[in-house]
Structure 1
Amino acid sequence: MFNPKPMENLSDYQCFQNHCMPICSVNMEPGLALDKRFVCKNCIEVTHLPVCPLKNVIQIIEKPIKQKLNQYEQIITPHLDLLKQFYDKISLMESIILMQLDQLTVIVNDWISSIKEKGEQIACYNFFNQLDLLINKQQSINKLETKQIYFDLITLNDTQIKLLNSQLDPFKYFEGYNQFQKLMKQIVTSLDKFDLKGGLFFQEQNKQQPIKSQIQQQLGRKLLEQQNKQTISNSILQKNSVSSSFQYEIIKKLTYEQGELCQALAINFNNTLIAIASECNINILKINQSLNQEPELLQNLERIHKNHVTTLNFFKKQSQILNQLVSGSLDSTIIIWTPDQQFTQWNALFQLKNHFYAINCLQISNSLEDFIVSGSADKTIKFWSLNPLKYWICSQTIQEHTSYVYGLSINDEGNQLLSCGNDNYILIIHRSNQQQWQIKQRILNDGISISFITNQTFACQSLDGTSLTFYIIDQINGEYIKYNTFQIQTRGKGNSLYFPLYYNTSKNILLSKNGHNINLISFANNSLLDCQIVLEQAIFFVQNMIYGTMSDDGTLLVTWDSKSSKIQFRKYKQI
């Protein structure tokens, strides 16, 4: 780490006889002045001085210095390692804070745009219609429309303030937080200043009642009607009203110490290998089939990614690429790792660098495993495929999101893709016969993670981790419509960008991380129209920094959490 270095530049010095030759030795006779110490080859030839080679003198001088440096390094190395971890945590926190600030910016911009859009709608009129009203001396103001405008405005304010509060919560100790809260209070109360006197916009019997009170009552009735409709049409997520049919029980002997941050995990096709992120590196572990001992570390894939690994996926079907591993990172790169025949050593075969910011999500198609989709903080979705020469190329880029891409999900047939982003939109993307992907629908939703359940249904998880929204396809127009939103158990807010919503077909389980909980949700029927949605199990963690995955057959649930700093395995058990 440290090497001895003289403060003087010895090459600047000349021999005591000024021969203009490089010095090579030192006169070791006591009592000499400093400018008489150095000698060159010419000096040695014409004198018989007691000299010692300069190289040897330097070695003798530096030997005790090196010993001190070694002792110092032994003392400081643990401290430097901890400081490096601290620096990495700060870098991660910086990226998260920047994300949250961007989210705040998007929310406020959307709020402003929505208000301006409503004003543009009001400003636009049909000249000939208004001319007819003028000629016939009819009232040109639509009472119901004006009332609805104020109702919509209060609803918009309420929705956006909830979004802002969820994003501002981490900043409550920052300078300026109280000013944000005061501004939001002023926004809410600003509508009270408008005293729309009775008879102008409302029926005569309502003119003494403040407009805001009327609208709030109307809003309350509407919400109540929606809640009643939800109760009748579906059973709300529950744990106690319907007995659980399964549990995931922890396997105490099957754990692995993982002190570094682990934001991504992946299990291979036959549950014999697991890949776990270790900050910038990846550990490949062998899982004992008896599940009665600690996993064996096969290899540490290091020094390739330059920042934290955020996504991991094994190829699981095609024999030529079976057990190859795909990793994505905050360094904006995607790496495809290929194993040897014994699956004990992996090498970085391809490094894909078309993104220019963090990789947030990545999906491998179940139907076409020579096909990968990635979503990034650079606002793009990229499609990757193997060309005839067996090289991975970027075949298409979609740039419709206006902020970070958060989540992706591909249906079983591989012809539909869902994406959700920080711009509060879900994109429904279809593959055409020409193998090109086109956007078919946009849905306003603030989800952070998304997953197909069937080809006709999907779920989206809210950013604050408190709700799941289900969508179902409309058989008439072929578009997805919002079917219902369910509040779910969290024990604290906060969702994880890198613990995606996941539906396991084998066990009919929806895996959802919400706040401090990992929730396991089942569906009594495969159709949302008549199914009962049941919270089978909620696994609580002390802290909300949790990451995990599930095996394809649903038998293993694997997690890492910052409190235990361990990889923990849980096994599916029917009750």
Structure 2
Amino acid sequence: MFMPKMIENILELQCHQKHSKPISAIRLGQYISNEKRLYCEECSKLNDIQIIPLTLAVELSKDSIEKKLRKFQNLFVPLYDLLLKLQSHIFELKSQLFKNFHELEIITEDWINFIQVSEQQITRYSLFDELDQLIINQKQTQYQIDEKIINDYKNVNLQQLTKVNSTLVQFKDFTNKFRDCFKIIIEISKQHKESQLKSKINFQDNQSLSDQLVFQKSSYFQSKKSIPNVTSLEFSKKVTENMLQFQFKLLQQSFKQQEECNAFAINHNNTILLAALNNSPLFSIKIIQMSQQQEKQENKDASLNLKVIQILEGNHDNFVTTLNFFSSTPMRDSFISGSSDTTIIIWSPTTKQNNLKLFWNPLIKLFGHQSIILCLVLHHEENLFISGGSDNKIKFWTSSIQQQWFCKQTVEEHSDKVYGLSLNDSGNQLISCGNDKQILVIQNSNNKEWDVKQKIKILNIGFRISFITNKLFAFQPSSQAYLHFYELNSFGEFVNTEGLQVKGVDQCCDCFFPSVYIPLKGIMLLKNGQNINIIQFSFFSQNWGCQLIQAIEFETQKFLQGRIYGTISADGHFIVTWDVQSKQIQIRQQRMMI
């Protein structure tokens, strides 16, 4: 297992006199630099000092290292062999467990189907058939029961009970396999004590190691669900074919913005950009017109002109943290601003006489939060939006027919700040993450109250969370190496199943600049530390895959890390950012890679 491997290449070594001849001898003695130990034949003739042949020096060194290796081999080889055995037992246990659970699922599913079919057979009847039976059996005090159904019921019950029992009995075999695993662990423990190796494992304080153990994966992976008649290679090929090759390229059109911009929003047709300035005491919102002129050559950058058409000032008493555009009529081009002054303002556009330009005015100011508003999402029907804040509350705001907005419900299940919110495609499920190290899954099943359906405990806080589909969402632990994925299982609960390595590990971060998933393009925009990760998803049958296609890194001093803010347009065509290093509002455009 252990073989000596010399780092130096003898043929590349040169004597200290630079004679360009092979090294033939080594000088002994203390306090001599490595270079002055090397002698060629010519050096040996010129000096009358204590030297030994090179071959002897190499042999002595090799003997010494082999003695050391024998000691280490006695220590490591038995452990290595035991670990291989342990790994083999674990794989067997895993395989058998999955097989048995799968069999139990099939048995119970067939059993339930039989009950449902039997119920339909019993409950469905014909009025005329029943009248005939009444006439024929009018002297009887009760109806005859169909003996065939009863017999079938008894037979199926017996068969399924036998199957379940035989499968459950197999779990007893695991006792021996578990015992074998424990024997190996005990043997390793004995070796550990005998070698007097002292170590302390702290699982909770070593999350980065935990991430590596749980998510040791490449940047591309496939989900574990099986596809009938489709091999892993075929699935991988399908996913790769479905993934378009593109990147986001920085456009020349940008402008200086000295004040920090904590929030951005782009309207439905990419003609209006909102930027929230942290410029005390005005706390402005800049409204910027985006006018595009497409180049004639295919796949060329659009010529983009940016022009400030209005500045909204003095409406918020502290900096704006969230911006969201309405995209549907009748609220189209209206927008919502949430602020660290605890208020929410809905802004409505108007046009002046003989002027087609839009101008925005506050429509309504909403109060309810008791601290900074940190996140806000708008329902796709645009009759509801949801906010979360430093007061640990999630508030549901709805509108009446007269477009009067009010707080309909408050969920107070978080015990600390609420950092991130996301609604699923159907609009009936909300997920949230916060500073209390838990994810809430909140369900609206009757179009009335929203109820907490599931609480997921996590090891690290996270600022960003996004639904990908109704059955899949992504959560990014703050400044960690892996993006976590949660899938809906057969019990209706989300469980952590996969991980994707992203950029931004061990870099400072904050909760502004929420993650966004664009279903139209199948891409996700994810800030992590000083990086913006662009992740592409592909779906095939019951499976899905994803890969990190681009990471945009913003350089800055360490104490300023994480101060990158931005958004992506609804069509996934433009990414807008502001960073503390450049102090510019920059725009990147999606470009196909030829």
**What TM-score comes out, normalization by structure 2 length?**
0.57
Equivalence for 1:157: none
**Partner SS, residue 539 of structure 2:** coil
Measured after TM superposition, the shift of residue 322 of structure 1 is 0.7
Write the distance in 2 (CA, Å) between the matches of 1:428 and 1:224. 23
The answer as to whether partners of 1:496 and 1:513 remain within 8 angstroms in 2 is no
2:485 is aligned with 1:470: yes
**Partner SS, residue 567 of structure 1:** strand
Equivalence for 1:334: 344
Equivalence for 2:312: 301
Measured after TM superposition, the shift of residue 469 of structure 1 is 0.5
> Please, which runs of 5 or more residues in structure 2 have no aligned partner?
1-181, 224-239, 294-301
2:578 corresponds to which letter in structure 1?
W
Equivalence for 1:481: 495
Change (3 A) 1:424 1:351: same
Measured after TM superposition, the shift of residue 223 of structure 1 is 6.6
**4+ runs of 1 displaced by more than 6 Å?**
217-220, 222-225
2:316 corresponds to which letter in structure 1?
H
2:248 is aligned with 1:248: yes
Change (3 A) 1:225 1:352: closer
Measured after TM superposition, the shift of residue 461 of structure 1 is 0.9
Deviations 1:431-470 (A, max 9, x none): 0214210000011122211000011000001112532110
> Please, which runs of 5 or more residues in structure 1 have no aligned partner?
1-198, 237-241
Write the distance in 2 (CA, Å) between the matches of 1:468 and 1:205. 34
Write the distance in 2 (CA, Å) between the matches of 1:232 and 1:564. 30
Equivalence for 2:462: 447
**Partner SS, residue 354 of structure 1:** coil
Deviations 1:389-438 (A, max 9, x none): 32100000000000000000001111000100000110000002142100
1:334 corresponds to which letter in structure 2?
I
Q: Which moved more, 1:439-448 or 1:335-344?
A: 335-344
Q: Which residue of 334, 342, 346 corresponds with 1:324?
A: 334
Equivalence for 2:292: 289
Measured after TM superposition, the shift of residue 507 of structure 1 is 1.0
Equivalence for 1:275: 274
The answer as to whether partners of 1:473 and 1:479 remain within 8 angstroms in 2 is yes
**Partner SS, residue 288 of structure 1:** strand
The answer as to whether partners of 1:419 and 1:427 remain within 8 angstroms in 2 is yes
The answer as to whether partners of 2:484 and 2:500 remain within 8 angstroms in 1 is yes
Equivalence for 2:372: 358
Change (3 A) 1:213 1:565: same
Write the distance in 1 (CA, Å) between the matches of 2:438 and 2:211. 27
Which structure's relative contact order is higher, taking Cα pairs within 8 Å and 6+ residues apart?
2
Measured after TM superposition, the shift of residue 498 of structure 1 is 0.7
Equivalence for 1:538: 551
Equivalence for 1:573: 591
Q: Report 1:33-112 matches (<5 A).
A: none
1:362 corresponds to which letter in structure 2?
L
The answer as to whether partners of 2:422 and 2:432 remain within 8 angstroms in 1 is yes
Deviations 1:109-134 (A, max 9, x none): xxxxxxxxxxxxxxxxxxxxxxxxxx
Q: Which residue of 451, 461, 474 corresponds with 1:459?
A: 474
Write the distance in 2 (CA, Å) between the matches of 1:217 and 1:327. 44
Measured after TM superposition, the shift of residue 229 of structure 1 is 7.2
Measured after TM superposition, the shift of residue 355 of structure 1 is 0.4
The number of residues matched between the two structures is 366
The answer as to whether partners of 1:299 and 1:344 remain within 8 angstroms in 2 is no
Equivalence for 2:118: none
Deviations 1:291-326 (A, max 9, x none): 535411111111011111110000001x11111010
Q: Report 1:29-428 matches (<5 A).
A: 203=186, 206=189, 209-210=192-193, 216=201, 226=213, 230=217, 234=221, 245-252=245-252, 254-279=253-278, 280-290=283-293, 291-317=302-328, 319-341=329-351, 342=356, 344-366=358-380, 368-428=381-441
2:390 corresponds to which letter in structure 1?
A
2:535 corresponds to which letter in structure 1?
I
Write the distance in 1 (CA, Å) between the matches of 2:211 and 2:553. 31
Write the distance in 2 (CA, Å) between the matches of 1:225 and 1:468. 12
Change (3 A) 1:449 1:484: same
Deviations 1:525-560 (A, max 9, x none): 367x74442111111211331111111111111111
Equivalence for 2:8: none
2:508 is aligned with 1:498: no
Measured after TM superposition, the shift of residue 383 of structure 1 is 0.3
Measured after TM superposition, the shift of residue 271 of structure 1 is 0.4
The answer as to whether partners of 1:496 and 1:546 remain within 8 angstroms in 2 is no
Write the distance in 1 (CA, Å) between the matches of 2:396 and 2:470. 20
Q: Identity of counterpart residues, as a percentage?
A: 38
What is the RMSD computed on CA atoms of the aligned residues?
Answer: 3.2
The answer as to whether partners of 2:316 and 2:341 remain within 8 angstroms in 1 is yes
2:552 corresponds to which letter in structure 1?
I
Deviations 1:338-397 (A, max 9, x none): 11044521111111110010000000011x201110001000000000013321000000
Write the distance in 1 (CA, Å) between the matches of 2:395 and 2:429. 14
Write the distance in 2 (CA, Å) between the matches of 1:435 and 1:427. 18
The answer as to whether partners of 1:491 and 1:517 remain within 8 angstroms in 2 is no
Write the distance in 1 (CA, Å) between the matches of 2:284 and 2:480. 28
Write the distance in 1 (CA, Å) between the matches of 2:188 and 2:550. 53
The answer as to whether partners of 1:338 and 1:347 remain within 8 angstroms in 2 is yes
Change (3 A) 1:370 1:492: same
Measured after TM superposition, the shift of residue 492 of structure 1 is 5.4
Deviations 1:207-229 (A, max 9, x none): 57449969859999x97995587
The answer as to whether partners of 1:424 and 1:444 remain within 8 angstroms in 2 is yes
The answer as to whether partners of 1:377 and 1:403 remain within 8 angstroms in 2 is yes
**Partner SS, residue 427 of structure 1:** strand
Change (3 A) 1:472 1:298: same
Write the distance in 2 (CA, Å) between the matches of 1:400 and 1:499. 24
Equivalence for 1:561: 579
2:564 is aligned with 1:551: no
The answer as to whether partners of 1:311 and 1:360 remain within 8 angstroms in 2 is yes
Deviations 1:74-113 (A, max 9, x none): xxxxxxxxxxxxxxxxxxxxxxxxxxxxxxxxxxxxxxxx
Change (3 A) 1:230 1:257: closer
Write the distance in 1 (CA, Å) between the matches of 2:212 and 2:463. 28
Write the distance in 1 (CA, Å) between the matches of 2:423 and 2:549. 25
Change (3 A) 1:224 1:360: closer
The answer as to whether partners of 1:465 and 1:495 remain within 8 angstroms in 2 is no
Change (3 A) 1:273 1:402: same
